[in-house]
């Protein structure tokens, strides 16, 4: 049995190695060629590279602090108000930024804070201010969603003891909440830092000038505008090194809550009116911060040239391209992830825990390698032999599938392992194998995380701007690339309509895939 | 003396079960509460502790009604089956919290914490974390904290249910002694009739949100009625 699982998993691992290592080897090889040695290659002697490195870290640090610190207060406010009206709806709104593409967020931020927006910041929007606004829009809700379950993990008896011992709000935080928060916070901080460090669409569109360029964007600019592959290689290696460092720190500190956790019932103590009002204000402020840009985008888009654009063949071509890339990447990623996880679960069941962990790690390792680094490597590797612009779809689909793999591992892994641990012997004793086992055991138990994994990878791939911006052209553009091109041509109203279309597409695809595959009912595993 | 008078409570999720308690517990007494799951034993303790609010009735201790008092001001200490201790704090701090949650203790209070730990046989473990202790030792720490709080009422909500018979018997004897020494009033929930025999002269059988029978423990355990009691005890 384990051999039959090892063959497809081995193929996936080989393909993974090829997709990750070959571009890296290409980059390393190129950096050693004598023809490619621009003056600013030595990083510490180049003011440009030093500035890019400094700005990358600085914006990521600020974005992280501005996202996570308020998120602690907002998550706590949600946790303390389990009976708040519309709580589910508000938390649903906080899940939205997870599926909204970066370029749509940019449009939404411009819609509120741009010159014609409700809260105009004028020119100062472009640069660090705009980048921070957009990153906080993404990451504050993410941090709230990651931190909120922690309060459910606090035993109800601890709250009761705190109340009986007469603890005030500060003492409750110090003795009951902070110890639990302290263990998870470094992981959340590092995750958000990593996301901001590798953010591409936001920095490209709201920053990108000489004073506000990150490594990720500088790689793109080196290849697309300056035609300086050696500098791109240097930047890619620098970005890789930084990401590896953050990933190692994350591994050291990370203690993220599992997708499904044992939760205690929310404790309803008699809280004061003041604390209720403070919690309400925090929740309302965060809701406005997240909701306002989306609402503004919707209004602006509906006032834009909707009819004219609805008849644009180019728009619908981009729509079809986006959908095709998203669905293909999701299917590829989930199939690859399925084989890997089945194999790792078999290994774990047989007591080969290290082997299982290594297989899981192989699926997640691409998380530390920015997609633009792989794309750059592939560009460098393939461009001498083929016209890479003719291979745009396979390349973009493959890289996005690869980037989706860590999400598949995270969503599906725990359920597959649990299914193996609990039911494998029973299945063996009942001779439930192959299709029958999948139909009666695996599918009902796994369809929910499977639906979530496919939906997540699909919207991530549909919203990708980094890889498609490197390989795409007007003919092969996706909606995100089209928005970027429209912004570049100052066609703001058209870009807003395109952004709304992309947003609606992502939401529809996410809902259809998650519900369609995952089903509505919870299966108790 | 603790007097529960006409104390009524209902869960909105179970409108059919309207709980209604009347009970009297003497000073220095450990009264055992037995009864099926969901019968209202823990609810009664939560009402006394103030975690839940009764819709009507009185909880009187020494002629004072506790109902109006907030949780922290009630003369009550509670020991649960688990999660009594904060896992990141050492034993000394876990007990000291019982005196002052700000941990600003006077020299006499520091001595009281050390004395309580010593009384419970934990004198050399002050700096250990709860994770380094056995289940029985953890419950001793919780009892030590109840001691330093010097509250009149001690509530034990299946506090020793997870322990083996010998350890349970040892701790029940200890509780009996401590309640006598400190002139406390204790209510003990247990699913083991043997616990009631060890700890309590009298036992109450709680069924469907009411005190169905209150009698000397040996009599109650041998009684032929009510039938719910026989069903609960599994005897003919």
Domain assignments of chain B as residue spans, ordered by start: 1-75+155-236, 87-150
Please give the Cα distance from B70 to B59 (Å, whole number). 13
Whether residue A115 is predicted with pLDDT greater than 90 in this model: the reply is no
Q: Over range B36-51, report the average pLDDT.
A: 93
Instruction: State the residue range of the domain holding A516.
Output: 1-32+306-525
Q: Residues A104, A215: one domain? A: yes
Residues A377 and A292 reside in one and the same domain: no
Question: Chain centroid to CA A6: how far?
Answer: 29
Domain boundary among A303, A324, A352: A303
Number of structural domains found in chain A = 2
Same domain? For A353 and A238 the reply is no
pLDDT above 70 for A263:
no
pLDDT of residue A59: 96
| Residue located via tokens 């095709």 | A324
For residue B175, the model assigns a pLDDT of 93
User: Which of B45, B69, B71 would best serve as a mutation to test chain A binding (most A beta carbons within 10 A)?
Assistant: B71
Question: Is the domain of A192 the same as that of A314?
Answer: no
Instruction: Using a CB–CB cutoff of 8 Å, tell me whether B72 touches chain A.
Output: yes
Q: How far apart are CA A128 and CA A160, in angstroms?
A: 45
A346 Cβ contact list (under 8 Å, min separation 6): A1, A2, A5, A420
> Are the Cβ atoms of A155 and B70 closer than 8 angstroms?
no
Contact A163 B82 (CB under 8 A): no
Q: Does B76 touch chain A (CB under 8 A)?
A: yes
Q: Which of residues 9-68 of B touch A (CB under 8 A)?
A: 49-51
Residue A30 has pLDDT above 80, yes or no: no
Convert the pLDDT of each residue in A127-182 to its tens digit. 999 999 999 999 999 999 889 988 888 888 899 999 999 998 899 999 999 988 88
Give pLDDT, residue A323: 96
- Number of inter-chain CB pairs under 8 A, A vs B: 54
Beta bridge partner(s), residue B3: B24, B60
Please state, in angstroms and as integers, the Cα–Cα distance from residue A155 to each residue in A82, A265, A498, B28, following that order. 15, 9, 48, 31
Count of other CB atoms within 10 angstroms of residue A4: 12
% pLDDT > 90, chain B: 70
Contacts of B135 (CB under 8 A, 6+ apart): B162, B163, B167
Bridge partners (DSSP) listed for residue B20: B8, B210
Report cis status (omega within 30 of 0) of the bond before B61.
Answer: no
Partner-chain residue, chosen from B51, B72, B82, that has the shortest CB–CB distance to A166:
B72
Q: Does A209 touch chain B (CB under 8 A)?
A: no
Contacts of A179 in chain B (CB under 8 A): 86-88
Average pLDDT value for chain A? 85
- Spatial distance between the Cα atoms of B132 and B121, rounded to a whole number of angstroms: 15
Closest by CA to A454, choosing from A368, A333, A343, is A333
**pLDDT of res. B87:** 87
Q: Are A374 and A381 in contact (CB under 8 A)?
A: no
Contacts of A504 (CB under 8 A, 6+ apart): none
Tell me what pLDDT residue A523 has. 46
Residues A292 and A323 occupy one common structural domain: no
DSSP structural state of residue B213: E
Whether the Cβ atoms of residue B40 and residue B7 lie closer than 8 Å to each other? no
Domain final residue, candidates A280, A303, A326: A303
Note the pLDDT tens digit of each residue in A447-464.
889 998 999 999 999 999
B88 — contact with chain A (CB < 8 Å)? yes
Instruction: Examine the predicted complex and report whether its ipTM is higher than 0.90.
Output: no
Band (B19; pLDDT cuts 50, 70, 90) = very high
Q: Among A2-16, A75-89, B198-212, which range has the highest average pLDDT?
A: B198-212
DSSP element (H, E) containing A274: helix A273-302
pLDDT at A423 over 90: no
Q: Does A163 touch chain B (CB under 8 A)?
A: yes
Least confident of A29-33, A356-360, B72-76: A29-33
Q: Are residues A221 and A348 in the same domain?
A: no
What is the spatial distance between Cα B198 and Cα B196, in angstroms, rounded to a whole number? 5
Question: In chain A, what percentage of residues exceed pLDDT 90?
Answer: 34
Q: What angle do CA A362, A215, A457 make, to 5 degrees?
A: 40
A150 and A130 in one domain? yes
Query: Quick one: pLDDT band at residue A260, thresholds 50, 70, 90?
Result: very low
Query: What are the distances in angstroms from CA A59 to CA A113, A124, A214?
Result: 19, 15, 9
Q: Where are the alpha helices (DSSP H) in B36-134?
A: 41-49, 91-96, 107-119
B162 interfacial to chain A (CB closer than 8 Å): no
CB contact under 8 A, B86 and A179: yes
Tokens matching residue A387: 């016209």
The rounded distance, in Å, linking the Cα atoms of A151 and A72 is 11
- A217 and A158 housed in the same domain: yes
CATH number at residue A247: 1.10.3720.10
Among residues A261, A280, A303, the one where a domain terminates is A303
Please provide the CATH number assigned to the domain covering B1-75+155-236.
3.40.50.300
- For residue A393, the model assigns a pLDDT of 92
Residue A208's region, left for phi above 0, alpha for psi from -120 to 50, else beta, is left
Across-strand partners of B56? B8
For residue A3, what pLDDT is reported?
59
Q: Do B84 and A165 touch (CB under 8 A)?
A: no
Instruction: State the DSSP string of A278-332.
Output: HHHHHHHHHHHHHHHHHHHHHHHHHTSSHHHHHT-HHHHHHHHHHHHHHHHHHHH
pTM tops 0.90: no
Could you tell me the pLDDT band of residue A33, with boundaries at 50, 70 and 90? low
* B201: Cα separation from own chain's centroid: 16
Distance, CA of B50 to chain centre: 13
């Amino acid at each position: 049995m384990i051999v039959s699982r090892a063959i497809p998993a081995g193929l996936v691992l080989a393909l993974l190695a090829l997709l990750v290592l070959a571009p890296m080897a290409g980059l390393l090889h190129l950096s050693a060629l004598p023809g490619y040695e621009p003056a600013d290659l030595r990083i510490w002697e180049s003011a440009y590279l030093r500035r890019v490195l400094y700005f990358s870290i600085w914006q990521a640090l600020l974005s992280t602090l501005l996202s996570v610190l308020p998120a602690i207060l907002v998550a706590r406010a949600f946790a303390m108000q389990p009976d708040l009206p519309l709580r589910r709806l508000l938390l649903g709104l906080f899940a939205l930024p997870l599926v909204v593409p970066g370029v749509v967020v940019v449009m939404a931020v411009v819609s509120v804070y741009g010159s014609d927006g409700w809260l105009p910041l004028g020119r100062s929007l472009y640069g660090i201010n705009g980048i921070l606004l957009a990153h906080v829009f993404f990451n504050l809700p993410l941090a709230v969603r990651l931190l909120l379950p922690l309060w459910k993990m606090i035993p109800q008896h601890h709250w009761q003891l705190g109340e009986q011992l007469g603890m005030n709000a500060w003492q409750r935080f110090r003795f009951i909440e902070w110890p639990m928060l302290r263990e998870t916070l470094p992981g959340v901080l590092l995750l958000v830092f990593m996301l901001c460090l590798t953010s591409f669409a936001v920095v490209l569109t709201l920053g990108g000038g000489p004073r506000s360029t990150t490594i990720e964007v500088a790689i793109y600019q080196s290849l697309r505008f300056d035609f300086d592959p050696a500098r791109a290689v240097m930047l890619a290696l620098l970005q890789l090194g930084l990401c590896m460092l953050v990933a190692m720190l994350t591994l050291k500190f990370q203690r993220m809550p599992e997708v499904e956790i044992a939760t205690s019932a929310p404790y309803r103590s008699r809280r004061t009116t003041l604390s209720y009002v403070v919690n309400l204000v925090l929740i309302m402020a965060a809701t406005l911060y997240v909701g306002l840009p989306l609402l503004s985008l919707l209004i602006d888009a509906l006032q834009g040239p909707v009819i004219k654009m609805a008849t644009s063949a180019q728009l619908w071509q981009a729509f079809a391209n986006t959908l095709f890339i998203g669905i293909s990447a999701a299917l590829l990623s989930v199939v690859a992830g399925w084989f890997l996880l089945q194999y790792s679960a078999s290994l774990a069941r047989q007591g080969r825990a290290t082997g299982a962990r290594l297989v899981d790690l192989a699926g997640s390792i691409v998380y530390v390698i920015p997609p633009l680094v792989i794309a750059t490597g592939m560009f460098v590797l393939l461009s001498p032999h083929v016209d890479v612009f003719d291979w745009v779809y396979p390349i973009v689909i493959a890289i996005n599938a690869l980037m989706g793999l860590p999400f598949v591992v995270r969503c599906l892994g725990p359920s597959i392992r649990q299914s193996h641990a609990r039911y494998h012997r029973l299945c063996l004793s009942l001779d439930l194998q192959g299709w029958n086992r999948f139909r009666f055991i695996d599918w009902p138990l796994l369809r929910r995380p499977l639906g979530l994994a496919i939906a997540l990878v699909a919207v991530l791939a549909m919203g990708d701007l980094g890889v498609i911006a490197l390989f795409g052209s007007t003919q092969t553009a996706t909606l995100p690339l089209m928005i970027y091109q429209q912004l570049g041509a100052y066609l703001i109203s058209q870009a807003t309509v395109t952004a709304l279309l992309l947003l609606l597409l992502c939401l529809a695809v996410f809902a259809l895939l998650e519900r369609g595959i995952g089903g509505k009912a919870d299966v108790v595993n | 003396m603790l007097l529960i008078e006409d104390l009524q409570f209902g869960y909105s999720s179970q409108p059919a079960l309207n709980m209604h308690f009347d009970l009297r517990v003497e000073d220095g007494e450990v009264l055992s509460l037995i009864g099926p799951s969901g019968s209202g034993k823990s609810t009664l303790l939560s009402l006394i502790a103030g975690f839940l609010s009764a819709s009507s009735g009185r909880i009187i201790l020494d002629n004072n009604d506790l109902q109006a008092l907030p949780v922290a001001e009630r003369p009550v200490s509670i020991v649960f089956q688990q999660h009594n201790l904060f896992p990141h704090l050492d034993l000394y701090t876990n007990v000291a919290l019982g005196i002052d949650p700000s941990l600003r203790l006077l020299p006499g209070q520091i001595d009281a914490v050390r004395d309580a730990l010593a009384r419970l046989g934990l004198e050399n473990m002050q700096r250990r974390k709860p994770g380094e202790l056995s289940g029985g030792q953890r419950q001793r720490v919780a009892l030590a904290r109840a001691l330093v709080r010097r509250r009149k009422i001690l509530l034990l909500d299946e506090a020793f249910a997870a322990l083996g018979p010998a350890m349970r018997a040892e701790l029940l004897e200890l509780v009996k002694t401590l309640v006598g020494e400190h002139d406390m009033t204790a209510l003990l929930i247990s699913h083991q009739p043997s616990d009631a025999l060890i700890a309590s002269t009298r036992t109450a059988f709680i069924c469907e949100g009411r005190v169905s029978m209150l009698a000397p423990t040996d009599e109650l355990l041998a009684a032929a009625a009510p039938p719910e009691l026989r069903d609960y005890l599994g005897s003919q």
